[in-house]
Amino acid sequence: MRRLFKGLPVLAALVMTAACSAAGGQVPSSGALTPQGGPTVTVTVTASANPSPSASQLTSTGKPQPTPKSTSKPTALGPRQVVAPDGRACPDHPTAACTGVPPGTKLTEAVLNDSGQAHRVDVAGRRLDRVHIKGDLVVLADDVVITNSVIDGRILNEKDRKLKRFTISDSTVGPEQGCDSLPGIGDGEFTAVRVHVRNHGDGIRFSGDNIVVQDSFIDLCSNPKDHSDGIQGYYGRSNLVFDHNTIDQRGVVDHNAPIFIPRTQNPDAENIVMTNNLLMGGTFSIQLWDIGGYVIFRNNLLVDNTWDYKPAEVQCANVDWRDNKLVTIDDAYRVTGVVGPLACMG
């Protein structure tokens, strides 16, 4: 019997902290930029009435690992307010009102120094603040921090088959108009907080290790023959925390699912935690097929009757599925009612 968890212990609580603290350079531009520190993210899944699996339940071999310690106040499962540094707020789940670049931010256009189509960062610790990149952002060095910025294209971070660490917060990724079929943010080793991903066929690409996406709003689109997904696992590895995000796939014509992590593309994926998200749209809205490692999927809300075939297609034996619900919402994404429990279904 395989070991279900390795590398990221999960007992009664799971805590992942991602922080960037490197000093940075400057974006080639005509204006001065003021660097801002990247966010520190702490995600805590607290025990509910039905306690989380113990170390002995999660592991068939090896010694139990100690529960990770957190110095932050635990975040209870369920809707919670999202407050951006500039004071914008959403009452429960994130929307465009509290994510993305703050309104009125004076942006400096970054030079497209990579074939005239992308802005390339190859200096470790560089900070991009209040920048407008009218193309893709290519991160080729570790500990890059992006804040209060707009990237019209997508963010890529692979160099020599290795993924480079970056953090993005309070920023907008995607074109203002039209639809880019490619993923907005990928592929691994990144933290995204209060990010608005707009007008991309795929929102997040899970193709590496160590991803945190929190308090973000993913508003999808499609072009003909696309298979749009909110977050897609494509040879994903380990340590994915996807907490308190909104994925809206309603009205997308060539769509697949808000959450799509199939074993055929993710045989080695493990340590996946998906909690407190608001989801809508898709063929089968939640698709978690026989993933190699254990998955925690708790307290997520799915908007009722927004799917084509059925709410979920999941290998339930490999998923800690609890307290997920079918709900109704208003035009501002506020929950107006609970239709009933969302059962795990294969």
- Quote the domain boundaries for residue 226: 15-341
pTM: 0.81
Over residues 204-210, the mean pLDDT reads: 94
Domain count for the chain: 1
Q: Is residue 1 part of a domain?
A: no
Q: Does the structure show a pLDDT above 60 at 50?
A: no
Q: Is residue 5 part of a domain?
A: no
What pLDDT score was predicted for residue 31?
33
Q: Is residue 246 part of a domain?
A: yes
Q: Is 185 left (phi over 0), alpha (psi -120 to 50) or beta?
A: beta
Q: Residues of 273-311 as b/e, b for ≥16 C-beta within 10 angstroms?
A: bbbbbbbbbbbbbbbbbebbbbbbbbbbbbbbebbeeeb
What pLDDT score was predicted for residue 80?
87
Nearest Cα neighbor of 184 from 161, 224, 217 is: 217
The region of weakest confidence among 69-83, 188-202, 244-258 is 69-83
Instruction: Kindly compute the dihedral angle of the four CA atoms of residues 64, 65, 69, 74, in this order, to the nearest 10 degrees.
Output: -50
Over residues 329-336, the mean pLDDT reads: 96
Q: Is residue 3 part of a domain?
A: no
What pLDDT score was predicted for residue 129?
99
pLDDT: is 266 or 106 the higher one? 106
Residue 39: pLDDT band with limits 50, 70, 90: low
Over residues 199-206, the mean pLDDT reads: 97
Q: Is residue 101 part of a domain?
A: yes
Report the C-alpha gap between 322 and 330 in whole angstroms.
24
Q: Is residue 7 part of a domain?
A: no
pLDDT digits (tens, 9 = 90+) for 212-257: 999 999 999 999 999 999 999 888 888 999 999 999 999 999 999 9
pLDDT digits (tens, 9 = 90+) for 131-156: 999 999 999 999 999 999 999 999 99
Over residues 63-82, the mean pLDDT reads: 48
Q: Does the structure show a pLDDT above 60 at 115?
A: yes
Q: Is residue 6 part of a domain?
A: no
Q: Is residue 9 part of a domain?
A: no
